[in-house]
Amino acid sequence: MNVSIADITVKTIDGKDKSLSDYLGKVLLIVNVASYCGYTSQYKGLEKLNQKYRSSGLEILGFPCNDFGAQEPGTNEEIAQFCSLNYGVNFDLFDKVRILGSQQHPLYARLTKEATPPGDVSWNFEKFLVNKKGEIVGRYKSAVSPDSSELVSAIDRELAS
């Protein structure tokens, strides 16, 4: 049985509560992001996906996280500015979250428990694909680039369903 993430509330990067139920009917790509990581250049590919697929129903949700190598030390304001200036990021960014340990955000508790395979996120830029019903349908390690055929074909499949 697939469990939805729609009942979870998150904070936007400017501190407003946002229910993930607002995204029902959209395909989501949820990514834990960081400004000082070997994978930080994936912001460019994520923004390209955003530009290509947003009008078709894809929403990319970026969750800054400092849990891996302290690679996201900035404030929300600094993170938003960095993403905008360096990568022209136009997709939704959220409040910095903890995704490991006892202070793990409820979204990541659900993602890491319900995704296949289950288990903790291992590094920045790990991606979770969520269908239009809010169910987790894919999990992609950090090394899977936003433009990889594996990820793009999964996005196409979910947008078509």
Residues recognised as catalytic: 37
Whether the Cβ atoms of residue 91 and residue 59 lie closer than 8 Å to each other:
yes
CA distance 30 to 124: 12
Residue pair 134/6 in contact (Cβ under 8 Å)? The answer is: yes
Peptide bond between residue 117 and the one before it cis (omega within 30 degrees of 0): yes
* Residue tagged 């139920």 (tokens): 21
Task: Transcribe 105-156 into DSSP letters.
Answer: -HHHHHHHHHSSS-S---STT-EEEE-TTSBEEEEE-TTS-TT-HHHHHHHH
Q: What angle do CA 76, 90, 111 make, to 5 degrees?
A: 65
Distance CA 9, CA 145 (A): 27
